Amino acid sequence: MNDVRILGTGGYVPDRVVTNDEVGAAAGVDDAWITAKTRMRQRRWAAPGQATSDLATAAGEAALDAAGVRADELSVIVVATSTPDRPQPPTAAYVQHRLGAAGAAAFDVNAVCSGPVFALSAVEGVLARRGGHALVIGADVYSSILNPADRKTVVLFGDGAGALVLGPAGTGPRVRHTALHTFGDLSPLIEVPAGGSRRPPTADTVTDGQHYFTMVGREVRRFVNDHLPRLAKQFLHEAGAVPDDIRHFVPHQANGVLLDDVFAEMALPHAQMHETLEQYANTGAASLLLTLDAAARQDAFRPGELILLAGFGGGMAAGFALIEW
């Protein structure tokens, strides 16, 4: 990867705190059940009328402030999301306007929970051509597409946004390498069945609940266990690193019990795994950057340390980034 530097991070979550007992009531489960299955204790949900672009803008502002970069210095804004404000235009266009970044190209990436890594890889090429700075945001409002009675999904998700400001060669953490994978044959494992061109919205699709998020949980878990450790080892080899080199592991915050199993399989003997899932649950495309920002603001990273980011989710997709702090 070209010498792209991280100049600042940012994050945002809505004010509303939703406890396990509250989210579990309609689904017929309680705090003890949810905690045992997921290690999640609460999550944040957007207020009525609060959309993905609102969360993304707030996280972007925080990252720009941390980086000391003005919005009018941005060349590109990429929003990774699978819960856009509307099917059209891109959510990034709203963010660009609200930030006052009129000179920036703005577009969305939908690789579901792996989206931020896909976005990181995409902006490398844009920066190489346009120069300047890039703002990468992962943001989702999953509370807007959850079936309140589906205990397999409604207990897992929260709303939030995380962001990075990237710039040209210089000082600061360096994005050393990225890798992207998609397994399209497994795409039915995670989907929203209706609302697009395959099954346009009708009164019947709404009545049947086909606009809700669905997930085949057992098969998703199998995908992660079978693929993520193997792909991560392959990625480190390609990046010129070995497991012993990694000091920090920042995974997508899918499920705490699942992450414990995956981390053990990853065999990263000197790495600390960072989590935000107990407070924020699974925030979709936000979770990687929101968790990275939380750790950075706690001064968890030291100069020269290697950080492995691992995203995985719908598509099915997986994305990895190696950051030298």
Active site amino acids: 113, 252, 282
Spell out where 4-109 has E strands: 4-12, 16-19, 42-45, 74-80, 105-109
C-alpha closest to that of 281 among 52, 35, 50: 35
First to last CA, the chain: 15
Which are the contacts of 152, defined by CB distance < 8 A and separation ≥ 6? 215, 217
DSSP codes of every residue in 14-29: -SEEEEHHHHHTTTT-
Angle CA(73)–CA(74)–CA(75) in degrees, nearest 5?
120
* 36 class by beta-carbon count within 10 Å (0-12 exposed, 13-18 middle, 19+ buried): exposed
d(CA 274, CA 154): 23
Tell me how many helices (H) and strands (E) the chain has.
10, 14
3-class state of residue 225 by DSSP: helix
CA dihedral 230, 235, 237, 238 (to 10 degrees): 140
Residue pair 33/24 in contact by the 8 Å Cβ criterion = yes
Q: Tell me the torsion sign for CA atoms 201, 119, 17, 15.
A: negative
CB atoms < 10 A from the CB of 107, how many?
Answer: 17
Instruction: Extract the tokens encoding 178.
Output: 């990225």
C-alpha closest to that of 174 among 124, 106, 107, 222: 124
